[in-house]
Amino acid sequence: MRIAWEERGGGQPLLLIQGLGYGRWSWEPILAPLAERYRVLWFDNRGIGDSDKPPGPYSAQQMADDALQVLDEAGVERAHVLGASLGGMIAQELAVARPARVARLVLCCTHPGVAHGFPLPGVTARLFAEAPTLAPEVALRRFVENALGPEAQTSLVDELVRRRTANPPDPAGWQAQAAAGMTFAGVDAPIAQDTLIVTGTADNVVDVRNSDVLAARIPGARVEKLEGLGHLFFWEAPDRFVRIVTEFLG
């Protein structure tokens, strides 16, 4: 597998794992401040961007192997790991499969697995059903708006639409990644790492109640709920998010 990855900064390594349909460009709001304190590594998951796009379906376990490959190629023995959405499921798999490689764990807007958590919120399920009847540019904007909180500024919606248009996901890769999320049943062993779980209370993509379900499955996990923010809260309030993360990681 060829996995496209980058790094910036010094200090303890911090690996960022993104979610469904978003390439490594989508970490932009938090990269610079995190790189002031950490050696940040970020990459395109299989199926998107400059990484290989093998036929699907993929699994979260396969994608965790890709994340491990990034650590190996970077010469990193142990890193903090931060995963968002599907990336949070991948991070859980990595933490269980290779516990010695994961220091602390930050799980953002993610799911404990279909065997344990709450399903896709109705508003997003309805949008997926409606999307094929919409003009592509209209559907894209609706999906971006749906991933943000109700108070998100129009300028942020415009910026994300522009970035998504400039970095369109590969359709087959998107479907293969989606399969990884839909089939993630939850990890089959306890997560032992110190864990921070972050969610937006206005998340329309992953039911906010899943953060509490996930925390109940991880001994000592801490939950931070960001009032009024949506699924992409690290775009809505990057400074606040970085502060929470750095306080946890130290």
Percent of the chain surpassing pLDDT 70: 100
Structural domains counted in the chain: 1
Whole domain around residue 233: which residue ranges? Answer: 5-119+170-249
Residue 110 token pair:
């993610």
pLDDT classification of 108: cutoffs 50, 70, 90 = very high
Region 63-78: mean pLDDT is 98
Query: Residue written as tokens 């400059």?
Result: 50
Q: What is the per-residue pLDDT for 126?
A: 97
Residue 148 domain-assigned? Answer: no
Residue 131 domain-assigned? Answer: no
DSSP 205: S
Mean pLDDT computed over every residue of the chain:
97
Residue 89 domain-assigned? Answer: yes
Residue 165 domain-assigned? Answer: no
Q: What is the per-residue pLDDT for 155?
A: 98
Residue 128 domain-assigned? Answer: no
The CATH number of whichever domain residue 208 belongs to comes to 3.40.50.1820
Residue 233 domain-assigned? Answer: yes
CA distances from residue 206 to 67, 124, 130, 193, 202 in whole angstroms, order as listed: 22, 9, 19, 23, 10
Bridge pairing between strands 5-8 and 39-43: antiparallel
Q: What is the per-residue pLDDT for 31?
A: 98
Q: What is the per-residue pLDDT for 3?
A: 98
pLDDT tens per residue across span 207-243: 999 999 999 999 999 999 999 999 999 999 999 999 9
pLDDT classification of 203: cutoffs 50, 70, 90 = very high
Residue 164 domain-assigned? Answer: no
Percent of the chain surpassing pLDDT 90: 99
DSSP 21: T
Which residue(s) pair with 105 in the sheet?
81, 195
Residue 159 domain-assigned? Answer: no
pLDDT tens per residue across span 170-189: 999 999 999 999 999 999 99
Q: What is the per-residue pLDDT for 221?
A: 98
Residue 209 token pair:
């109640």
Enter the pTM of the model.
0.97
